């Protein structure tokens, strides 16, 4: 069941390895990042921040906001992971977007609990191994056979674009995406590439809270 993820993680991992090493990060740190951070989009963002010598504090806040969506994956798996026994810590650690998507299918399968547990664990572990192997091969490849990789950073843009399309297809609001792009671009013009990410993320967070409170007031009255 982890097969659909295999191609994606191997290739994206490869692209991540290329990008990290051509941004000046040694290959072994690429592998370590994929082992201990294991968060696709956040790792791409992290490489960008490192290249810009961002302060550690803004790295922390940015990763916090970029990965905040993982909070919500956990919330929907609280009951499911209670049956994971000794695998539970690893299952929580390795809950990426793709693994979450596959496990939400496994959760609803009608199979014995032990089998479901073993299956879920092997999916999570295989997904991470594809990611680690892909990024290590990419990092080693570019370390030993240097070639002009300019433009490979667009794989990050392409990945985010695809994720956004999938989010919109599964019920995400186009208006929110449009508001985020417009306000993000405005902040970019205002603050420049170095400092616009955090203001943009906070602006959208508070805007959503504002919209929520407006909606609730209307319902109550």
Place of tokens 């290739």: 11
Helices 27-36 and 3-22 cross at an angle (nearest 10°) of: 140
The whole-angstrom distance between residue 50's C-alpha and the CA centroid of its chain comes to: 17
Minimum CB distance to another protein smaller for 114 or for 173 = 173
Residue placing its CB nearer to another protein in the complex, 14 or 116? 14
Give the number of other Cβ atoms within 10 Å of residue 96's Cβ. Answer: 23
The DSSP string of 113-174 is HHHHHHHHHHHHHHHHHHHHHHHHHHHHHHHHS----TTTTHHHHHHHHHHHHHHHHTT--H
Distance in Å, CB of 45 to another protein, minimum = 7
Smaller CB separation from another protein, 106 or 180 = 180
Give the residue with the Cβ less far from another protein, 49 or 119. 49
Nearer to another protein by Cβ, of 93 and 114: the residue is 93
**Euclidean distance between CA atoms 143 and 30, whole angstroms:** 12
Shortest gap between Cβ of 128 and another protein (angstroms)? 13
Q: How far apart are CA 206 and CA 107, in angstroms?
A: 33
Measured from the CB of residue 122, what is the shortest distance to another protein in angstroms? 19
Q: How far is the CB of 215 from another protein (least distance, A)?
A: 8
Q: Return d(Cα 16, Cα 73) in angstroms, integer.
A: 24
Question: In angstroms, what is the minimal distance from the CB of 201 to another protein?
Answer: 6
Give me the count of residues in the chain. 221
């Amino acid at each position: 069941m982890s097969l659909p993820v295999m191609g994606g993680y191997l290739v994206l991992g490869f692209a991540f390895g290329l990008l990290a090493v051509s941004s000046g990060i040694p290959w072994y740190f690429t592998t370590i990042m994929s082992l201990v951070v294991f968060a696709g989009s956040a790792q791409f963002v992290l490489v960008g921040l490192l290249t810009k010598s961002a302060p550690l504090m803004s790295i922390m806040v940015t990763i916090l906001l970029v990965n905040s969506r993982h909070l919500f994956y956990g919330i929907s798996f609280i009951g499911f992971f209670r049956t994971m026994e000794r695998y539970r810590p690893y299952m929580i650690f390795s809950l990426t977007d793709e693994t979450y998507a596959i496990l939400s299918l496994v959760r609803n399968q009608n199979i014995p609990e032990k089998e479901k547990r073993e299956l879920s664990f092997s999916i999570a572990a295989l997904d991470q191994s594809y990611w680690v192997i892909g990024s290590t091969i990419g990092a080693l490849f570019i370390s030993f056979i240097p070639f002009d990789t300019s433009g490979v950073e667009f794989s990050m843009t392409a990945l985010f674009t695809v994720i956004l399309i999938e989010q919109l297809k599964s019920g995400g609001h186009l208006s929110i995406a449009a508001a985020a792009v417009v306000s993000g671009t405005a902040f970019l013009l205002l603050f420049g590439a170095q400092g616009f990410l955090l203001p943009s993320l906070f602006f959208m967070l508070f805007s959503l809270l504002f919209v929520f409170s407006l909606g609730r007031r209307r319902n109550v009255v």
